[in-house]
Amino acid sequence: MTETIAFNEMMVHIPLCTHQEASNVLVIGTINEEIEKELQKHAYANIEKGDVSLINSKDDKDVDVIILTDVEIDEILLANINRILKDDGLITFTTSSYCSNADKLKADLSLVGEKFWIAMPYKFEGNTSIIASKRHHPTADVNLHRADLLDDLKYYSAEIHNACFVFPAAQHKELTGIAKR
């Protein structure tokens, strides 16, 4: 199994199996054929793809889920995301792992934690990402029916969905108060 397969499946299915009824989804950043294949498994949603300028073209409170594949998040981008995201919306984006750059992970969690009810890191195959949600909790509200019915998966499963949010005790303790669980 390559790291790329895990990345493609986890960046798509974690947010789209967390949000209960995502109808408008934006994918911002690089989109390869495999990410496209994973997105097609969520045919119920209107999925738009592009660069950061797509966010600026959206109406206020019009988007359910935003997936940032390789875009660095900052205060300005987060303000624009917050403007277009619905009241129950969520985002996911990549960050640094705790082991490679704990300060970057903490800074990203703190940044999104100011605007979102939930801000949780998740890890898979050497990658670390963050899901930030205004309403839906990624482990308590996972849509098992949707997650269990996805076909042709090599990495993602409902069990992996929940397990990827578990961190070693010392890391969990250090992120407590920064991550909003």
Q: Which helix or strand (DSSP H or E) is residue 92 part of?
A: strand 85-95
Amino acid 149: pLDDT: 92
What CA dihedral angle connects 32, 84, 144 and 137, to 10 degrees? 120
Residues 83 and 65: their CA atoms lie apart, in Å, by 13
pTM (two decimals): 0.97
Q: Is residue 64 within 8 Å of 22, Cβ to Cβ? A: yes
Please report the DSSP string for 25-39 in residue order.
EEEES---HHHHHHH
Listed in sequence order, the DSSP H helices in the chain are 3-18, 33-39, 53-56, 75-84, 98-113, 144-149, 158-163, 169-175
- The pLDDT score that the predictor gives to residue 93 is 98
pLDDT of residue 1: 44
3-state secondary structure 93-121: EEECCHHHHHHHHHHHHHHHHCCCCEEEE
Task: Name the CA dihedral angle for 75, 78, 128, 99, rounded to a multiple of 10 degrees.
Answer: 20
Q: What percent of the chain has pLDDT over 70?
A: 98
- Asked if residues 93 and 126 have their Cβ atoms less than 8 Å apart, the reply is no
Which residues of the chain have a pLDDT value below 50?
1
What domains can be seen in the chain, in order of their start residue? 3-175 (3.40.50.150)
Strand order in the sheet with 46-50: 46-50, 24-28, 63-68, 85-95, 127-133, 118-124
How far is the CA of 170 from the CAs of 39, 95, 100, 111, 161, in angstroms? 35, 19, 15, 22, 21
pLDDT at 2: 56
Measure the CA–CA gap between 83 and 110, rounded to whole angstroms.
19
Cα–Cα distance measured from residue 55 to residue 95, given in angstroms and rounded to the nearest whole number: 20
